[in-house]
Structure 1
Amino acid sequence: MSRNVWFETVAIAQERARKRLPPSVYGALLAGSEQGVSYADNLNAFSELGFAPHVAGLSAKRDLATTVLGQEISLPVIISPTGVQAVHPDGEVAVARAAAARGTAIGLSSFASKAVEDVVAANPATFFQVYWQGDRDSIVRRMERARSAGAKGLILTLDWSFSHGRDWGSPWIPERIDARAMLRFAPEGVRRPRWLAGWVRSGHLPDLSTPNLAEAGQPAPTFFGAYGEWMQTPPPSWEDIAWMVEQWAGPFMLKGVCRVDDARRAVDAGVTAISVSNHGGNNLDTTPAPIRALPAVAGAVGDQIEVVLDGGIRRGSDVVKAVALGARAVMIGRAYLWGLAAAGQTGVENVLDVLRGGIDSALLGLGRASIHDLTPDDVVVPDGFLRTLGAKE
């Protein structure tokens, strides 16, 4: 990778994305609900944790490989599903190729801009993400399509509520790119010529439809059309989740758990894995950072199901802290979107390389030969840091 493209940190990728993307697109990626308390805590909590390093007897080689949902991955980082990716014309296909090139898996959103068939072709280690929306028949049809496409696992996202207002304002997002939308966004596009040129070269405009939710013979709904269906669908019960697990009959992750009692109910429902997550700060604001809730959840169910963490990962050292405190792996969202915006597939590969290097360096300093050797003793946890939610004393 040429040095003029390479970035050495995720923070640099974010800054390049900010300079490249129209302000409305960049603002949509920042997200965070209400005051953004959870969004900020997701990031800041990792800086409150320290390491307890060794100085001699360190391992000359470190093993970063593990498995998630039955898929072997070369580092404990997988791609978290995110919705319509208007940051780059190749969208989720570019992300899938980058993940495959770096030996890891991708979670594909049902609200994605690329079809599950195309993403699986780019990376066979694809997990398809769904929301509980529509009736059971439509949910089964979506699962069957993902299964037929070759998806290796299913992710059910439940850490998303109706609270999306932001104190600093939300950018206007059109339902579709029509003449009105193009006129409104024209000044932003002119200010970001490289982003606009990329779409011109691709031969099409940003697509805000959701092809993975299209019914046979029908056009794909728009993002807001799909969002509306989700809002009108009553939330699922634990019995509904157990039914879904049974229907899928394969590796199944429940995303959004931060309470011990919910984690135990997830085990009872038969899931393979849970993600400790607050939807990147886009769920109920003031929910604690997932890293604060992780040890209690992992301690309660980590010997029965896989536990991963999603939220606030920006450095390889963050990954190591999460694994030491009980996660099998982590999922990244905004971090790879910054890379995608900055340099397409190459940028996503760059982000994964940055994280890999940071993980390896942290393992070296801690004297660990493998991520599987990490323990809570490797991390300095200050008093008052942890949050144990939903557990009786």
Structure 2
Amino acid sequence: MASTKDWFETVAEARERARKRVPRSVFLALHAGSEAGTTLADNTAAFAEIGLRPRIADLPATRELGTTVLGQEISMPVICSPTGVQAVDPGGEVAVARAAAASGTAIGLSSFAAKPIEEVVAANDKTFFQVYWQGSRDGIRARLDRAREAGAKGLIVTLDWVFATARDWGAPPIPEKVNLRTAVAFAPQVLARPGWLARYVRSGRLPDLTTPNLAAVGEPGPSFFGAYGEWMGTSPPTWDDLAWLRQQWDGPFLIKGVYRPDEAKRAVDIGATAISVSNHGGNNLDSTPAAIRALPGVAAAVGDQIEVLLDGGIRRGSDVVKALALGADAVLIGRAYLWGMAANGERGVHNVLEILRQGIDSTLYGLGRKSVHDLTPDDVLLPDGFTRGM
């Protein structure tokens, strides 16, 4: 369908609408990448290097996009990745959950989220809870207990995030909390985007920068920076720590950030259910090659011992197909749906997911594949040196 006031045709259009709709600092926070943004740029550029090998006859009249990931049946191999403090829209993570449910897929909920896990699971029962290794083991166990009690279907452990927060072009300022002083400082940006302000006025609340899922039910959680500080002050986990964490969760267990084949095998050894090849969307160690470049080596190293997901650079349905052909079982998206939410709230998130669905379907058709499960490396063309030896 053609673009309208309430519907866009591409993720690129969602990004442009988001840029025009939300305050500058909010948009820059969605767009940011570590340091020079080398990895951020390569995450998308690498997909453009991958060719497709189309067929012209015996094409399937219908295509099957559905699959099962982390024990959940989903209508297509695309899941909304956990992202923290979604203050781009009053609906936040609950809006994302509803949009994903409408598209028949799952979401990951960040432990740094602004909405309680109980509300998110109520909106989408295919919710995975994401944690960082932060604080004491007792504190971590308490968070897992709350997630389990709320009905989370799986656990995502994020390890692809280091302390590098510098941006060569200047990081956008993020306030500790929204108060009168903050309101005055950001007033010029906010007043320049009256539609964004109006949405919050209608909701009767200000952007929430607290993290309720890091506290007991009903108790106020720390601020985003309070949670970030606790994480920074916690010693990084060892493989023994991760093995302990796996023992605390008896359901599906995904380690996010695996990049090396040897560490993929370690994830198998501790009993992980799945891994995600990811560089935190270019917000981890800059100069790391695109996640899709590491995918073939990781997938080959673990075979069918564990589910393999890909996170980073997905902007089109054809990107999803390329990832599946190179060994992924599904993909996680972050910026794409955040741009959709910034552009048009819950409907914008659903819009992005349906764009990807249409793109997957048309790419399968062009490749002559009846199902996402039929894709193989034979469907793509990789230039020499694509994986950079990984």
Identify the TM-score tier after normalising by the shorter chain. over 0.9
Post-superposition Cα deviations, 1:154-190, rounded to whole Å, max 9, x if no partner, equal 0000000011100011011110001111110111111
Name the count of aligned residue pairs.
389
Q: Which residue does 2:35 correspond to in 1?
A: 34
Q: What is the aligned-residue RMSD (CA, Å)? A: 1.1
Which secondary structure state, in structure 1, belongs to the residue aligned with residue 242 of structure 2?
Answer: helix
Pairing of 1:125-274 with structure 2 (within 5 A): 125-215=126-216, 218-274=219-275
State the Cα distance separating 1:216 from its structure 2 match: 6.0
State the Cα distance separating 1:4 from its structure 2 match: 2.1
State the Cα distance separating 1:31 from its structure 2 match: 1.4
Post-superposition Cα deviations, 1:243-296, rounded to whole Å, max 9, x if no partner, equal 111110110000000100110111111100000000000000001101000000
Which secondary structure state, in structure 1, belongs to the residue aligned with residue 357 of structure 2?
Answer: helix
Q: CA separation in 1, counterparts of 2:97 and 2:303? A: 28
Post-superposition Cα deviations, 1:106-164, rounded to whole Å, max 9, x if no partner, equal 00000001000000000000000000000000000000000000000000000000111
AA matched with 1:131: Y
Post-superposition Cα deviations, 1:352-375, rounded to whole Å, max 9, x if no partner, equal 110000000100000000010000
Q: CA separation in 2, counterparts of 1:165 and 1:282? A: 10
Q: CA separation in 2, counterparts of 1:115 and 1:334? A: 21
Q: Runs in 1 of length 4+ with deviation above 3 angstroms?
A: 215-218
Q: CA separation in 1, counterparts of 2:26 and 2:375? A: 38
State the Cα distance separating 1:218 from its structure 2 match: 4.6
Pairing of 1:279-294 with structure 2 (within 5 A): 279-294=280-295
State the Cα distance separating 1:388 from its structure 2 match: 4.2
The percent of aligned pairs where both chains have the same amino acid is 70
In 2, are the aligned partners of 1:259 and 1:388 still within 8 Å (CA)?
no
TM-score (norm 1): 0.98
Q: CA separation in 1, counterparts of 2:389 and 2:72? A: 30
AA matched with 1:203: G
Pairing of 1:362-373 with structure 2 (within 5 A): 362-373=363-374
AA matched with 1:165: A
State the Cα distance separating 1:302 from its structure 2 match: 2.9
Q: CA separation in 2, counterparts of 1:196 and 1:214? A: 29
Matched, 1:90 2:85: no
State the Cα distance separating 1:71 from its structure 2 match: 0.2
AA matched with 1:64: L
Q: CA separation in 2, counterparts of 1:350 and 1:217? A: 33
Instruction: Note the residue ranges of structure 2 that are not aligned, 5 or more in a row.
Output: none
Q: CA separation in 2, counterparts of 1:218 and 1:85? A: 20
Q: Which residue does 1:58 correspond to in 2?
A: 59
Q: CA separation in 1, counterparts of 2:203 and 2:228? A: 27
In 1, are the aligned partners of 2:35 and 2:164 still within 8 Å (CA)?
yes
Q: Which residue does 1:302 correspond to in 2?
A: 303
In 2, are the aligned partners of 1:267 and 1:305 still within 8 Å (CA)?
yes
In 2, are the aligned partners of 1:295 and 1:325 still within 8 Å (CA)?
yes
Describe the shift of the 1:216–1:317 C-alpha distance in structure 2 as closer, same or farther (beyond 3 A).
Answer: closer
TM-score (norm 2): 0.98
